[in-house]
Amino acid sequence: MASPNPLQRTTPIVHLPLLILAALFLGPMIWLFATSLQPREQVGKVPPELLPRQYYVTEGAEHVYVTPPQPLGTAKLLVVPGGGPNAGQQLLVDPAQFKDGKLTQRVRVADREEARTFDAQLIRPVAADSVLVKEWLLSKYAKKKARVFYVAPTEVKSEVKPVWGNYPEAIKALTSGEKDKGRPLSELLGLSVYPWTPKGEQGRTITFLTYLSNTLLVAVLGVTGTVFSSALVAYGLSRIQWKGREALFNITLSTMMVPFPVLMIPLYSVFRALGWIGTLMPLWVPAFFGGAFNIFLLRQFFMTIPNELSEAARIDGCSEIAIFFRVILPLARPALSVVALFHFLFVWNDFLGPLIFLTRPETFTMGLGLQQYQSQNGGSEHHLLMGASALLVLPIIVLFFFAQKTFIQGISTTGMGGR
Amino acid sequence: MVAYGWGFVFGGKLIDGDKVTTASPENIQAYRWMASYSKKLGVDAVQRFRSGFGSFASAQNPFLSGQLAMEIQGVWMYNFIKKFADGMPWGAAPFPAPAAHPELRGAANAEADALVIPTGSAHPEEAWAFIKYTQQQEVMEQLCLGQRKHSPLKRVSEEFYAKHPNPYIRLFAELGASPNAWSAPKTGVWNEYGRELTTAADKIGNLTLTPEEALGSVQERIQISYDRDRAIFMRRAR
Amino acid sequence: MSPLERRKLATGLLFTSPWVIGLSVFLIYPLLAALYYSLCDYSVLLPPVFVGLDNYIELFQDKLFWKSLWNTTFFAVGSVGLGVVVALTLAILLNSKVKGLTFYRTVFFLPSLMPLVAGSILWFCMYAGQGGIINTLLAKIGITGPAWLSDPSWAKIAIIFMAVWGAGNSMVIFLAGLQDVPMSLYEASIIDGANWLQRLLHVTIPMVSPVIYFNVVMGIIGGFQAFAQALIMTSATGAPEQSTLFYVLQLYNVGFMDLRMGYASAMAWVLFIIILGLTFMATQLSKRWVTYDR
């Protein structure tokens, strides 16, 4: 052909829309991680900033990180009163309150306020253009008292500095019912991993790590159950010729159309009759009985394995179970890993199931714990909220980079399963 | 202020015996007054102003950051001011009554945390012993001092007020005892009623519906639910 | 039945027994039980009381039933429609063997893996009114953004955008489908003088139509069950003005908040019938519009 095949040419014009779309898709993820590393005050800022930035003042050689500067507005005086509620402390007062070495201050007496006068020592006047900065503390519940500085605005500088401490803070914040204690992370480790005890033990703290271990427990048990049982059933539906096989398969297909909301209320009653409500069992036990989608996926795969292999094994005198374990399963590893991966993802992302079936905070999974935190605090500490969300997302991203091929292959085959 | 509270300020009730009285004249007056601000300032401006509010428990709380000059809040606000805006000058006063009805003065939302013993508890006797313990004056005052609340008991010691850090604590205690103090109706359909009222307040505030329309349809709907709920209750009680 | 057939039957049943048990206990029984509950007044705390069709009669007269149905339909159609268009476009763009395919594929696919809870919280923070990053960026190009989740006219659209952001898995499926389109068809059309638009409309889309059909059906079934996004990004009442009161959210409210499980079961069965109906309709339509391999 004289003219070059237009299909072989990669038009450069494709790159522009792709780049724009990539920026749009990547944007929210970047914002998630950026915000999770910002100090508390920067998150609510209007207009929002991307890079985490912290203010600091220099004291000698070191940087003391501080809150964003607040202008004082008018000139004030820094005094140390000899008596009253602020005795011995530095206090910022209006010049009108201080005369001839005496400070007039409004003081609480019982439940009223009265003006009292105390001796006071003048430290220095504070210029009107000064700003107030407080020592920046990671946790709003920290016991340490924040030092206050009154300095000229030029002394307050800012630098780009990510706040990695937000992550442990987020972990502590997700702790239910123990928010007022500044416990070190090490003390919180190594607690509750047996969520199906009838009542919590004394002194146990429910933390993010509890949620994590619950989720992992459900995931591991669920993956084991579904891989094994779905493979078993798929084998029965594909490698053995028996009457009623097609009928059962068609029933299986049709169950994929039943929406979970129809089942969830009676299931709740079933689980309550079994005594499983309040434990994690409703979330992983059903996986041991197979799932329609996984059965379908594995059956399609098993049908691609040549019959000769099974026949040869049968002639050798192998029982069906032996053929299943020794011949079919090893060949099915790619499909089994897809099933395992998908179920793991499902458990990690599951929200409605835990919401309905879990009642005690020590059994909550991560998604549920995160949602409870968000709904109880009205989305208060956005930087912690983003930090906690990032913690929920990071393992999935890591998993993706390790198992990319399985992911892509798996998704493609499910879609092509429609053919 | 909760969406369902405005009616009480004007003397309206949400349920009166058998009847659901959402669309009573007092309630309509209350919500008309609320909608008048949207009319005066423009719905768009109000929505935009409100959407810029930071979250409650933060330094960007609209009252603590200076966006709002005043707010209806409760005795807990002292804790939030201390935590996020320490040193901010503030005061507290009861919400005024309509000029024509001074007898409605002192309308305030009085709710309490309740200790309950559910049916089928494993240790009802012990639970009851604990409840009795918490209701003793010294114990209750200790708890309320820790939480910076006022005491729900009739007898309060002067020492409690002297020790209490909230300078307006007596005001809250007085409002709690006011004859015009109100609380959400205790009925099985309150969940639904509350949701409907929140939506109605939204619609009235956005000038989508008039107070008569919005409250009227809520009353219609909840009257049915309320009757049904009571019929079921009666049937089961037999 | 011959002894061999009998043995095969026994083995087959043995292998499939976990599923048969599971099916009966965790699916068939609850499905039928839900039907029974839907004919009862059931508050979970006390045993159900048969009331006949009362729940269904009340349901069809309930304003919130119709409102939530409308909201959900709007969301399902909007998110699936827009999602499929975006996913297909991305797949077609990526199918031309661009440099950095893996990078682009990762970027577009990753959001679909995010847990719904985390994604909802993230977009909730991004939409936050005036101070939100989305409106700030829009302002930089001169557009005054709406109040998104606080504006009744925009709230559903805001959630749809988040759903489209997660359409990456559809894109991967489309990519696989596109790669299956035989080159010979494209070459034949070029010989016939077709330009890119004609190639797109007459070769690509018809050949990919089974995959489009699959994505649309699965998307709609999923879209009708949307729940977590509405709960987390707005509230249990579907504020503002119930514009994001999705069907399953209303079901959850009625069942687990108002404790009217019988009524909620009626809602659930109606949802089931709707989904069955839509799937049936889609199958009928696919016979007209979808071309399979001849």
Question: Residue A332 maps to which CATH number?
Answer: 1.10.3720.10
Nearest CA in chain A to C44: A269
Q: What angle (nearest 5°) sits at the alpha carbon of residue A129, between those of residues A123 and A132?
A: 65
Residues A120, A225, single domain; the answer is no
Structural domain count, chain A: 2
| pLDDT tens sequence across C153-208 | 888 999 999 999 998 888 888 888 888 788 888 888 778 877 777 777 878 888 88
For residues A227 and A348, state if they share a domain: yes
Subunits with at least 3 CB pairs below 8 A relative to chain B?
A, C
Domain identity same for A238 and A325: yes
- Tell me what pLDDT residue A188 has: 31
Residue in chain A nearest B58 by alpha carbon: A380
ipTM (interface predicted TM): 0.82
Residue A326 lies in a domain: yes
More confident call, B23 vs A309: B23
Q: For position A158, what pLDDT does the model report?
A: 80
Q: Quick check: A74 pLDDT over 60?
A: yes
Mean of the pLDDT values across residues A75-81? 83
A164-173, B50-59, C19-28, C38-47: segment of lowest average pLDDT = B50-59
Structural contact between residues C168 and C87, judged by C-beta atoms closer than 8 angstroms:
yes
pTM of the model: 0.81
Tens digit of pLDDT for each residue in B125-155?
999 999 999 999 999 999 999 889 999 998 8
| Residue A39 falls inside a structural domain | no
The average pLDDT across C133-156 equals 82
Q: What is the mean pLDDT of chain C?
A: 86
Interchain pair A378, B60: CB under 8 A? no
Instruction: Name beta bridge partners: A78.
Output: A92, A124
The pLDDT tens digits of the residues spanning B41-64 come to: 998 888 777 766 766 766 667 888
Same domain, residue pair A107 and A226: no
Domains and CATH numbers, chain C: 63-290 (1.10.3720.10)
Whether A60 maps to a domain, the answer reads: yes
Residue A188 lies in a domain: no
The answer to whether the Cβ–Cβ distance between C129 and B195 falls below 8 Å is no
Average pLDDT over residues C88-101: 82
Q: Regarding predicted confidence, which is higher, B227 or C242?
A: B227
Contact: B236, C129; criterion CB under 8 Å: no
Range of the domain at A283: 208-414
The amino acid at B176: G
Least confident residue range of A132-136, A189-193, B67-71: A189-193
How many Å lie between the alpha carbon of C224 and the closest alpha carbon of chain B?
22
What Cα–Cα distance (Å) separates residue B88 from each residue in A44, A67, A267, B78, B84? 20, 17, 53, 11, 9
Task: For residues A365 and A282, state if they share a domain.
Answer: yes
Q: A381 and A256 share a domain?
A: yes
A348 with A250, same domain?
yes
Q: Give ∠ CA A174-B57-B171 in degrees, rounded to 5.
A: 130
Q: Are residues A215 and A332 in the same domain?
A: yes
- Full 3-state SS string of chain A: CCCCCCCCCCCHHHHHHHHHHHHHHHHHHHHHHHHHCCCHHHHCCCCCCCCCEEEEEEECCEEEEECCCEECCCCEEEEEECCCCCCCCCEEECHHHEECCEEEEEEEECCEEEEEEEEEEEEEEECCCCEEEEECCCCCCCCCCCCEEEECHHHCEEEECCCCCHHHHHHHHCCCCCCCCCCCHHHHCCCCCCCCCCCCCCCCCCCHHHHHHHHHHHHHHHHHHHHHHHHHHHHHHHCCCCCCHHHHHHHHHHHCCCCHHHHHHHHHHHHHHHCCECECHHHHHHHHHCCHHHHHHHHHHHCCCCHHHHHHHHHCCCCHHHHHHHHHHHHCHHHHHHHHHHHHHHHHHCCHHHHHHCCCHHHCCHHHHHHHHHHHHCCCCHHHHHHHHHHHHHHHHHHHHHCHHHHHHHHHHHHHCCC
Q: Among the three residues A160, A176, A197, which one is the final residue of a domain in this structure?
A: A160
Task: For chain C, give the percent of residues with pLDDT over 90.
Answer: 30
Task: For residues A122 and A244, state if they share a domain.
Answer: no
- Is A276 within the bounds of a domain? yes
Q: Let me know whether A226 and A331 are in one domain.
A: yes
The 3-state DSSP class for residue C225 equals coil
Q: Is the pLDDT of residue A1 over 50?
A: no
pLDDT digits (tens, 9 = 90+) for B164-186: 989 899 999 999 889 988 888 88
To probe the interface with A, which of B49, B53, B55, B169 has the most A CB atoms within 10 Å? Answer: B55
Residues A96, A221: one domain? no
* Residue A302 pLDDT: 87
**Mean pLDDT across A253-277:** 86
Of B48, B208, B217, the CB nearest to C130: B48
Q: Are residues A219 and A145 in the same domain?
A: no
